[in-house]
Amino acid sequence: MVGCDLHEDSMLLKIAVGRGTAETRSVKNTVRGRESMIADLKRRAQEGEGARVVFAYEASGQGFGLYDQLSEAGIECYVLAPTKIARSPRQRKQKTDEKDALQLLELVRGYVLAGNALPAVWIPDPQTRDDRELVRMRVEVGEKVTGVKAQVQSLLKRNALHRPAGLGRGWTRRFWSWLRCELAEPLDPAGSRLGGGGRAALGSLLRELAWLEEEEKRLDEALVGLAWSARYAGAVREMTQLCGVGVLTALVFLTEMGDLSRFGNRRQVGAYLGLVPSSNETGESQDRKGHITHQGSRRVRKVLCQATWARVRHSPEEKAVYERIKSKHPKKKKIAVVASMRRLAIRLWHRGCEAQRGGGGKVPEGAAQAG
């Protein structure tokens, strides 16, 4: 049994057989280092007359490459969720590589010797991982666009500059023209309401924003191709029939959730997405509900929130449900938003499951947007 504390450049292993004393080994996280580690584990298994090898490490930004390599070598590997591993406040403050690796080893021991459950994450297939790269990049570029727009607004506020009447509230063409012609690149710099430094900063922000918006368009084209591929066409077609749900929302949900059939009921979907209240209870007190757990994918919660507000604005049925829930908690309006998000997630799950069971689908006519 092996507990591994994985880092970008190194891996610290705690290796033990049965209830025996753990042995510590440090391995470089390189191609040669991993191959040497696998060869050593296989040698140990042969010396133990074909003993079972069970390996575990925590999920991180390193991805699932180590899992793939170990699985191909015939080693039983588990990737554990850091948020599901119980740690005391003292353990969280006094973390070391050896302590982390030893804790993972003890979890593996409990699983192998006592049958305890492991807090393992679901491992997506290579194609899903590749699809996630594109979808996540589109989400990140959208967040950068929002961030740059906020910077522009902050710059205007710092310099007491207000949008002229008649330009509307959004980022319209007339607003863009005002920013460029009147502030960033005025015909008469001496008459500009911004100083030289302010004009340079605003010009830089506008150039960055223009590039990001062009990048959004390029990624949207790639998303449309992905959405109407045989892998996703059926589910995307079903999901986008719901008010407020676009191609991007559907793809974020599908790629982040993966195999939808692994969820047995709607409660599991809500819990996986962190849209259920936390529970505070003891054996002597009643169950008290707190804030939502926020576990699971932040990206899915974000697109669900955006789609929910679109549904509340444009669907009388959804607005009525939202208002009914809000009336029960007038001082906590977020409860209504979260409840509506959970309702939408469950509907998407149902439609996605039906589409995945039925296979792909035809590309709808006029499918040309990823928004």
282, part of any domain: yes
| Residue 97 and residue 137 share a domain | no
The 10s digit of each residue's pLDDT in 299-358 is 999 999 999 999 999 999 999 999 999 998 888 889 999 999 999 999 999 999 999 887
Is residue 67 within 8 Å of residue 89, measured between CB atoms? no
pTM of the full structure: 0.87
365, part of any domain: no
368, part of any domain: no
The 10s digit of each residue's pLDDT in 237-261 is 999 999 999 999 999 999 999 999 9
- At residue 2, φ and ψ (nearest 5 deg) are -135, 130
Is the pLDDT at 214 greater than 60? The verdict is yes
364, part of any domain: no
Is residue 354 within 8 Å of residue 265, measured between CB atoms? no
For residues 242 and 143, give the distance between their C-alpha atoms in angstroms, rounded to a whole number: 24
For residues 168 and 351, give the distance between their C-alpha atoms in angstroms, rounded to a whole number: 38
**Gap between the terminal Cα atoms of the chain:** 47
Average pLDDT over residues 270-295: 74
Residue 21 neighbours by CB under 8 Å, 6+ apart:
none
CATH number at residue 81: 3.30.420.40
- At residue 297, φ and ψ (nearest 5 deg) are -80, 120
| Residue 142 and residue 50 share a domain | no
Nearest to 102 by CA among 47, 154, 24: 24
| Residue 249 and residue 206 share a domain | no
For residues 54 and 105, give the distance between their C-alpha atoms in angstroms, rounded to a whole number: 10
The token pair at 87 is 């740690």
Domain of residue 258 covers 233-358
Is residue 234 within 8 Å of residue 248, measured between CB atoms? no
Q: Is 4 exposed, middle or buried (0-12, 13-18, 19+ CB in 10 A)?
A: buried
Angle, helices 196-227 vs 247-257, to 10°: value is 70
29, part of any domain: yes
Average pLDDT over residues 132-155: 96
| Residue 68 and residue 135 share a domain | no
Question: Total domain count for the chain?
Answer: 3
Is residue 238 within 8 Å of residue 359, measured between CB atoms? no
Domain end residue (candidates: 82, 114, 146): 114
Domain end residue (candidates: 201, 227, 253): 227
pLDDT grade for 194, boundaries at 50, 70 and 90: confident
Average pLDDT over residues 132-145: 97
| Residue 241 and residue 352 share a domain | yes
The 10s digit of each residue's pLDDT in 304-314 is 999 999 999 99
Domain end residue (candidates: 172, 202, 227): 227
Is residue 185 within 8 Å of residue 176, measured between CB atoms? no
Torsion angle of the four alpha carbons 310, 311, 312, 315, in this order, in degrees rounded to the nearest 10: 130
| Residue 281 and residue 169 share a domain | no
146, part of any domain: yes
| Residue 186 and residue 151 share a domain | yes
Helix (H) or strand (E) holding 288: strand 288-292
| Residue 94 and residue 203 share a domain | no
| Residue 102 and residue 61 share a domain | yes
Residue 151 neighbours by CB under 8 Å, 6+ apart:
205
120, part of any domain: no
**Three-state DSSP class for 276?**
coil
Higher pLDDT among residues 283 and 300, named by residue: 300
214, part of any domain: yes
Is residue 86 within 8 Å of residue 92, measured between CB atoms? no
pLDDT grade for 369, boundaries at 50, 70 and 90: very low
| Residue 258 and residue 210 share a domain | no
| Residue 242 and residue 188 share a domain | no
Is the pLDDT at 291 greater than 90? The verdict is no
| Residue 70 and residue 160 share a domain | no
